[in-house]
Amino acid sequence: MKIALLDSGIGLLAAAAALRHQRPDADLVLSCDPDGMPWGPRTPQDIAEHALACARAAAAYRPDALVVACNTASVHALDALRDALEPGLPVIGTVPAIKPAALGGGPVAIWATPATTGSAYQRGLIADFADGAAVTEVPCPGLAEAVEQADEAALEQAIAAAAALTPPGTAAVVLSCTHYEMVDERIRAAVAAAGHPRLTLHGPAGAAPG
């Protein structure tokens, strides 16, 4: 089996690692857009165009499935990708892990890119799967870019800003961007320092199909 993954940048590595663990026999094709990232501040049309370019580049290698390892692209480009590539190439999206985060019953915060925060798609997921839990959407401008560029100062600033917007009593944080999962321990430390020592993180990589 050959599985392709797309993202704006290195955020797809977390999903690739999860897939490698689940299917060590699978060949992986990684397609990203370093010159066009970040996708978070782009318009939905721009996101769809960049995601389609990455998907078509990956499709040239004839994968059996395409994983959209980017929540922002799944929110704004999944329909366009499926219209362009299916049924010949199945397209699998990744979305914020709201349902498992809400199972704990406590308040949930969703850390996301500006394009995902407040989107109709994410709010639909909250309505469908939050199961009555209080949910706060926390925009994280600059965080994906800081991860991509390994910019220590920008990472510290973006994580601290998001931690400050995470309400007291929050029981779980949904990392609604694959880039964020690559610095999950730094995020955990920051939210603990902000007064959430027992908080649980939910990232998207574990939902990668096996």
**Positions marked catalytic:** 70, 177
Token representation of residue 48: 């769809």
The Cα–Cα gap between 126 and 197 comes to 24
Token representation of residue 19: 């897939």
Token representation of residue 131: 């199961």
Q: How far apart are the first and last CA of the chain?
A: 11
Angle at the Cα of 7 from the Cα atoms of 147 and 136, rounded to 5 degrees? 65
The Cα–Cα gap between 187 and 204 comes to 15
